[in-house]
Amino acid sequence: MGHEVESQTRGGAPQRRSGGMRPLHTLAVVAVGVVGVLIAFWVLSSIASIIGIVVKVVIIAAVIGGLVWLFSGRRRR
pTM for the full predicted model:
0.54
Q: How many angstroms separate the CA atoms of 58 and 61, rounded?
A: 5
The predicted-structure confidence for 20-77, as pLDDT tens digits, reads as follows 778 889 899 999 999 999 999 999 999 999 999 999 999 999 999 999 999 987 655 5
Alpha-carbon Rg for the chain, nearest whole angstrom, is 32
- Do the beta carbons of residue 30 and residue 24 sit within 8 Å? no
Amino acid at 2: G
Q: How many angstroms separate the CA atoms of 77 and 65, rounded?
A: 19
